[in-house]
Structure 1
């Protein structure tokens, strides 16, 4: 079973994504803030990271940069989601495997995740 680490501060979006992705056969571990994510068991690596950009205590772009600069996780895919940033801003700061603007189409999100993981 493929594992996704989701960092999203909006509980409605986070819960919806967790239910949806679990229904699609993914194992999802979700976090509502950077601090929660940083307190995770770092010995466990997911198959994919899904980060919101604007978080209450940091940025998904910063998390992406950390993931891509860590030898243990540098090759793991990262998808960035944002209602405020645009693709150019994100790629200037970090090079994610994909960028999804909010609001997003659920089917498109699942398709993009499946494509990256195949």
Structure 2
């Protein structure tokens, strides 16, 4: 499993989604214990995904970890704020 190997090897059930479309498809079929979102995806934005999750009654209470490969703090803050 190329994504989430550390979590997978620790015994967690990991479902990697490389695009927003795939993420939305998976979320429609199963509810995880936690979401780990990247800010930049090929077809969208993890922050927009997070906002959608918070608006959805079924996913509003699921913890979300958001990460970014951006080094510059202002790049991330510009997307969050």
TM-score, normalised via structure 1 length? 0.58
TM score, norm. by length of structure 2? 0.81
Report Cα offsets for 1:9-68 as digits up to 9, x if no partner. Answer: xxxxx82x4211011121101111001111225141000000110111000000000001
Summarize the Cα distance change of 1:59–1:41 in structure 2 as closer, same or farther, 3 Å threshold: closer
Q: Which has the higher contact order (CA 8 A, sep 6+)?
A: 2
Q: Which runs of 5+ in 2 are unaligned?
A: none
Aligned to 2:62: 76
Structure number with the higher strand fraction is: 1
The alignment yields a C-alpha RMSD, in angstroms, of 2.0
**Matched residue count:** 77
Structure 1 unmatched ranges of 5 or more: 1-13, 93-118
